[in-house]
């Protein structure tokens, strides 16, 4: 007999219950209508709907067609079953566990199928990804530290070095001034345009009408500013050199215009351009420099080592166009300016000498001439050549000869008789008043004939008269008392045959052969200024020695040096050599004064001043012709100035007293005024020139 299930399993009793329990049947309990929800869900106080003493076996749900869904109508009851929750369904599917025997370990319940394996795999993959990311981050951080800390300074230095550009900084060349500080040579601000050919090649036209790139584009824009031909300039821009000068002596305004163009690889450098404010005045002495600022002639060449500055160098970070980067790295090795030289020259006196010389050369038709003005103590005040030029525009002067005042050699003629007379007086072989009968001709033991400049009968002359009248025959009569060696020794002691040491380059030694090389009439000719060769400065130095009490001081042009910081240092004093005694020098000076007052040098007189001097006329041995000269000292009573005037091959007259003496008067008179020399006092007491 079947009964309706109440939802509570029936308790088995007796042996039958112990022997076997029937499998529980899935039942549905109908809840009475109107019962509270709390009681439906097992509220407190209500017994459980189903209990059992023994563990219930796992329930295998049986589904039949039409009963697989919650909303299906029960075939037995005809009612719709109550919808169960997931938890209730789970409890109904899982049978109660059988109690474990005492003393055994509890068994972990089996995991839900599939879930644990998926979670573990996901966690493993996540861990691997994190490890890889950590490794990447650590590697990146390590590399960053290595680059920033370890190799950072080195890499930065390499990069900076690639940006570094170098520019040469020239030291200013020192000035050349005269004795009073008048500037004869100086440097002014100029620029030169330089290019980096590699950077020029990277130039790209930006808004240019021609649209040209590279060297062609730079040349098309730069050439008009510099006044150059674009094609020629373009040739200088092509190549792989990092430093090429394309324009020199650029004015500041033009340099600023070039900078403003900001052309790739084009820059400007400040340099000093050499200028000569006095033009032709002392141009033959000062000389000039080449386009690189290096001395080429004159004092610019001779003193180049002292005048030129020491070049410096500036290294700086540059941009793509080669321009300095503001605030970038800059390294400078400062340039050092050169020293300035102060000369003994008087520029006004130099101008006067040049002006007088040019006029006389033009008047007489001479081939050329020289004027030397110096102190008895060797300071050269003027050194004029008729071939003066303007150092600002030397033209072909660089390929021509040196300054004639120190380079040209000529026979001194009668001016050399000063040496013969001084040697004879010094050795006691003659006195100023000794008497001689002098013919116009004299025959040597070898049969050679010595003649005076003009025919005359036998004249009764003193030694002073022989000197004043410039008699060759009378000079030989006095000079033959000297041995050959004595003649040579005194000529050499007065400076013949050796350079004076003047700072002007190209000075000749002159010509003085030893007695063993004298032939024929040479041993007599040297007594009156033939068979020897001198330059104008050498023969002027002879008279300066007499004017300086017989002490020879080498001629010189440098008064001292001024350092770049303005400190003047006088040149070391030149040592003198006593050639003849003071008494001998005074006697010769007095005899020379007679040559102006009573002899051939009357045209050399200077009003208010006593003048001592000697005329000279000598044949030129190369080329042919004559050399006319006058060399004198003023004032004779207190020598301050020695002046030598030399004219080569004058056409109007060959006599020094006629063509050279007037120039001496004009130039020396001007020099005395420039130097503020007071006029002479008492008139001279002269030695007699003739006898009865």
- 426-439 pLDDT, tens per residue? 999 999 999 999 99
* Residue 366, helix vs strand vs coil: coil
Q: Report the alpha-carbon distance of residue 660 to residue 364 in Å, rounded.
A: 10
For residue 85, what pLDDT band results from cuts at 50, 70 and 90?
Answer: low
Q: Report the alpha-carbon distance of residue 81 to residue 266 in Å, rounded.
A: 101
- Counting beta carbons within 10 angstroms of the beta carbon of residue 434, is it exposed (0 to 12), middle (13 to 18) or buried (19 or more)? middle
The pairing of beta strand 340-343 with beta strand 558-562? antiparallel
* Residue 64, helix vs strand vs coil: coil
Q: Report the alpha-carbon distance of residue 43 to residue 330 in Å, rounded.
A: 94
For residue 76, what pLDDT band results from cuts at 50, 70 and 90?
Answer: very low
Backbone angles phi, psi at 553, to 5 degrees: -110, 125
| Domains in the chain: ranges and CATH | 169-343 (3.90.1310.10), 347-388+405-558+581-675 (3.40.710.10)
> What value does the CA radius of gyration of the chain take, rounded to a whole number of Å?
61
Active site amino acids? 414
Closest CA to 97 of 86, 107, 111: 107
For residue 213, what pLDDT band results from cuts at 50, 70 and 90?
Answer: confident
Q: pTM, whole model, 2 decimals?
A: 0.71
Q: What is the pLDDT of residues 114-144, one digit of tens each?
A: 556 677 778 888 888 888 989 898 888 887 7
Q: What is the pLDDT of residues 490-532, one digit of tens each?
A: 999 999 999 999 999 999 999 999 999 999 999 999 999 999 9
For residue 207, what pLDDT band results from cuts at 50, 70 and 90?
Answer: low
Peptide bond into 635 cis (omega under 30): yes
Q: What is the pLDDT of residues 625-655, one digit of tens each?
A: 899 999 999 999 999 999 999 999 999 999 9
């Amino acid at each position: 007999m079947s009964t309706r299930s109440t939802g509570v399993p029936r308790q088995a009793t007796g042996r039958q219950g112990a022997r076997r329990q029937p499998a529980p049947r899935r039942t549905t309990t109908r809840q009475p209508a109107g019962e509270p929800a709390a009681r439906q869900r097992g509220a407190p106080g209500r017994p459980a709907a189903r209990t059992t003493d023994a563990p219930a076996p796992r329930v295998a749900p049986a589904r039949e067609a039409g009963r697989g869904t919650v909303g299906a109508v029960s075939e037995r009851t005809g009612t719709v079953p109550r919808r169960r929750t997931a938890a209730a369904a789970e409890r109904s599917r899982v049978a109660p566990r059988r109690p474990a025997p005492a003393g055994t370990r509890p068994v972990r319940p089996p995991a839900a199928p599939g879930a644990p394996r998926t979670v573990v795999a996901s966690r493993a993959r996540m861990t691997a990804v994190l490890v890889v990311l950590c490794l990447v981050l650590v590697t990146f951080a390590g590399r960053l530290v290595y680059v920033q800390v370890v190799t950072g300074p080195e890499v930065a230095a390499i990069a900076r070095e690639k940006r570094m550009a170098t520019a040469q900084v020239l030291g200013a060349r020192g000035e050349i001034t005269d004795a009073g500080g008048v500037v004869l040579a100086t440097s002014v601000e100029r620029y030169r345009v330089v290019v980096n050919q590699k950077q020029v090649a990277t130039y790209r036209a930006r808004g240019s009408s021609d649209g040209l790139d590279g060297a062609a584009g730079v040349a098309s824009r730069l050439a008009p500013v510099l006044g150059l031909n674009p094609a020629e300039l373009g040739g200088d821009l092509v190549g792989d050199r990092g430093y090429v000068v394309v324009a020199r002596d650029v004015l500041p305004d033009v340099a600023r215009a070039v900078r403003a163009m900001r052309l790739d690889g084009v820059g400007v450098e400040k340099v000093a351009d050499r200028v000569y404010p006095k033009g032709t005045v002392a141009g033959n002495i000062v000389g000039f420099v080449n386009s690189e600022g290096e001395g080429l002639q004159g004092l610019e060449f001779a003193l180049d080592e002292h005048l030129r500055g020491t070049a410096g160098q500036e290294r700086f970070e540059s941009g793509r166009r080669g321009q300095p980067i503001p605030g970038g790295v800059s390294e400078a090795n400062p340039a050092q300016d050169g020293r300035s030289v102060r000369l003994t020259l008087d520029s006004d006196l130099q101008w006067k000498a040049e002006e007088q010389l040019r006029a006389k050369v033009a008047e007489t038709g001479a081939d050329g001439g020289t004027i030397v003005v110096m102190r008895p103590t060797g300071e050269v005040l003027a050194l004029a050549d008729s071939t003066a030029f303007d150092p600002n525009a030397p033209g072909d002067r660089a390929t021509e000869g040196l300054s004639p005042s120190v380079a040209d050699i000529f026979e001194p003629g009668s001016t050399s008789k000063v040496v013969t007379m001084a040697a004879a007086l010094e050795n006691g072989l003659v006195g100023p008043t000794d008497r001689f009968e002098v013919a116009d001709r004299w025959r040597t033991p070898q049969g050679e004939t010595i003649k005076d400049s003009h025919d005359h009968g036998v004249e009764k002359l003193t030694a002073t008269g022989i000197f004043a009248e410039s008699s060759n025959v009378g000079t030989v009569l006095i000079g033959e008392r000297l041995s050959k060696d004595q003649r040579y020794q005194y000529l050499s002691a007065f400076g013949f045959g050796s350079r004076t040491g003047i700072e002007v380059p190209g000075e000749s030694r002159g010509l003085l052969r030893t007695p063993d090389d004298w032939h024929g009439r040479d041993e007599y000719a040297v007594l009156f200024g033939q068979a020897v060769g001198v330059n104008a400065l050498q023969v002027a130095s002879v008279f300066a020695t007499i004017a300086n009490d017989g002490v020879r001081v080498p001629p010189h042009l440098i008064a001292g040096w001024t350092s770049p910081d303005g400190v003047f240092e006088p040149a070391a004093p030149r040592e003198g050599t006593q050639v003849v005694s003071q008494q001998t020098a005074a006697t010769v000076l007095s005899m020379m004064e007679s040559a102006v007052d009573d002899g051939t040098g009357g045209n050399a007189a200077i009003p208010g001043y006593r003048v001592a001097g000697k005329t000279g006329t000598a044949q030129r041995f190369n080329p042919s012709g004559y050399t006319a000269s006058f060399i004198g000292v003023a004032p004779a009573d207190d020598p301050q100035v020695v002046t030598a005037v030399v004219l080569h091959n004058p056409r109007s007259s060959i006599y020094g007293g006629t063509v050279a003496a007037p120039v001496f008067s004009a130039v020396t008179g001007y020099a005395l005024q420039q130097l503020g020399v007071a006029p002479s006092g008492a008139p001279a007491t002269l030695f007699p020139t003739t006898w009865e």
